[in-house]
Every structure is written in structure tokens, then in C-alpha cells.
Structure 1
Amino acid sequence: MDNSKRRPVATPSYSVAQYAPHQILVCKACKHQGETCEPGHALLRKLRAAIAAAGLADRFEVAGTACLAGCVPDHGGPCVIGWRADAKATWLFGDIDPAQPIDDLIEFSRLYAALDDGWMSGRDCPPRLCDNTLARIPAARALAQQGEAVR
């Protein structure tokens, strides 16, 4: 197959601004159905309230985002959610049902905030999240040609 004539599909650039030291991203657009994700919106509202009630609102921003591309087609409900922060590992979890208690999401938020680099073993995650881990991505650190971190 000749890929030399193939060109990437142009899509608008997309980014989510981050105003707090840590951010929790909740998928709220379903790429499989081409519409907004009601379970995602429900989880977003529930998680915002729980983060505030846990006294973590000054450390975590909870934001909705476009499709995080981690869900299973025609699964019908559970959500994809991610944690990120500057110079920390990014975590992505799938199959998070907004109808379930979210204590484990708050527990993970506390663990994540306490770690300098956000890196932990899957065994250290709350049990439900351990089973639903989609990705643990190391933090990116831009380096200058001389090997020093770019700030």
C-alpha cells in the first residue's frame, strides 16, 4: 500500500487549559455515538462536588473534555477519566460508572497529589481503579541540547 499520497485528516486543534496544580479530565463527548455523553456529564458534576466536599478544590480542577479515546464501542455508559499535572505521570482509567460510589476516585486524587512525580504501582491504586487502568504515562520533561531541563 502506497502511503506517500495519504495525508492526515485535518482536525481543529484542541487543548484544555489548566488552572489548578492538578487536573482531572472527564470524557464528555462520545466518538462512537457522535454526541455528548450523558454519563460523562453526570460523572463530571458528581466528581466536582466530591472534590469540593473532600477539601481538594484548591489542588484539583475537574474539567470536561472531548473524547479521550479510551472507551469501548457500544458499551453504553461507563466513562473514561484522567489525572494530570505538570511534571507528573498522567493516569487514564476506563469503565468508570458514574452510578457507582466515587470514593476510590477521591482516594486516588489524594494519592496522586501526595506524589512528587505521580508515579505509583498499579497495586497502590484503589482496587476498582487498579482493574480499570488504561494507561500510566510518564511525565514529559523538555530538555535543552546540553541536557538541562527547559523551564
Structure 2
Amino acid sequence: MDDRPRRPAGTPAYSVVQSAPHQILVCKACKHRGSSCAPGFALLKRLRAAIAAAGLGDEFEVSGTACLAGCVPDHGGACVVGWRANAKATWLFGDIDPAQPIDDLVEFSRLYAAVDDGWMSGRDCPPRLCDNTLARIPAALIVTREGAIQ
């Protein structure tokens, strides 16, 4: 029998409620420093403003989240950003410099919203994001006795 203590599966710090059709998650907790992530908060603020200015505010909620476990400790403030939606593939990009222009992040948001299943080739991504792709995760398909639930 395993006697290791277990923490609850969905503690509030790691749960993010989605209120828009699509969600962009920006890491705002730095596991390497053991504190809040100032670059993550800065990127979160800029990305929220850019998504609203691009007319995508009804399509996307931009939220900060706990550690996404994709950062590189020696990259001095680079961020991890993810896109997710119900019944769509989830995308995770790393090494995003919050001081750089974020037009590629907005452009990816447009592409992601336009694709029914969120599945794209890396070649479809804006150029700066191609090299920063950490993961493209297929949409979950839950199968019960009654049938598939998406």
C-alpha cells in the first residue's frame, strides 16, 4: 500500500474557470524563484489589452495561472503561454519574452479561434512561435457506457 500523502486533485490554486469560448493561460508563478512572476504578470496585462484591441475579447479570456512547468530557469524572465478550448487541441508555447512585441500571440489566437478542432501544423503558427512550441495536446475525448462525451 502506498503511504505517501496525496494532495487533492483540483485545489483552487491550480483550477482556472473558463468563461469565454477560448482561453489563454499565462504562467504567473515562478517555481525557480519560489515567488510570483513579474514578467508573467507584465505579459498577462499586455496580452489582455492586445486581445481586446484586436477585437477578440468576446472569444478569449486571458487568465493568469499557476506554474505551467514549461519554463527554462536560465532564460531570465521568459514566459509560458497556453491556449485551450472545449473540444480543441491545447497548445503550449515557452520561452516567450514579455518585452518583445506580442503580435504573434494575437495572430495565433486568431488562427486558433478559426480552426474547429484547434489542430494545426507547426508551419501554420506565426514564425516566432514555431520554435517555441512545447506541446500540442489533442482534445480530450471521454468515453462512457452511454457514449463519447467531448
Q: TM-score range by the shorter chain?
A: over 0.9
Q: CA deviation at 1:9?
A: 5.0
Matched, 1:104 2:104: yes
Return the alpha-carbon distance in structure 2 between the equivalents of residues 54 and 5 of structure 1: 51
Tell me the secondary structure at the aligned position of residue 84 of structure 2.
Answer: strand
Q: Where does residue 128 of structure 2 map in the other structure?
A: 128
Tell me the secondary structure at the aligned position of residue 105 of structure 1.
Answer: helix
Instruction: Pick the structure with more strand per residue.
Output: 2
Q: CA deviation at 1:10?
A: 2.6
Superposed, 1:1-151 pairs within 5 Å as 5=2, 7=4, 9-10=6-7, 13=11, 14-145=14-145, 148-150=147-149
Return the alpha-carbon distance in structure 2 between the equivalents of residues 145 and 61 of structure 1: 33
Amino acid at match of 2:149: V
Q: CA deviation at 1:8?
A: 5.5
RMSD: 1.6
Query: Which structure 2 segments of 5+ residues have no match?
Result: none
Q: CA deviation at 1:118?
A: 0.1
Return the alpha-carbon distance in structure 2 between the equivalents of residues 120 and 6 of structure 1: 43
Tell me the secondary structure at the aligned position of residue 72 of structure 1.
Answer: coil
- CA offsets 1:15-59 (integer angstroms, 9 cap, x no match): 100000000000000011100000000000000000000000000
Query: Which structure 1 segments of 5+ residues have no match?
Result: none
Return the alpha-carbon distance in structure 2 between the equivalents of residues 102 and 47 of structure 1: 7
Q: CA deviation at 1:142?
A: 1.2
Q: CA deviation at 1:76?
A: 1.5
Return the alpha-carbon distance in structure 1 between the equivalents of residues 64 and 145 of structure 2: 36
> What is the TM-score with the length of structure 2 in the denominator?
0.92
Identity rate, percent: 77
Return the alpha-carbon distance in structure 1 between the equivalents of residues 98 and 83 of structure 2: 17
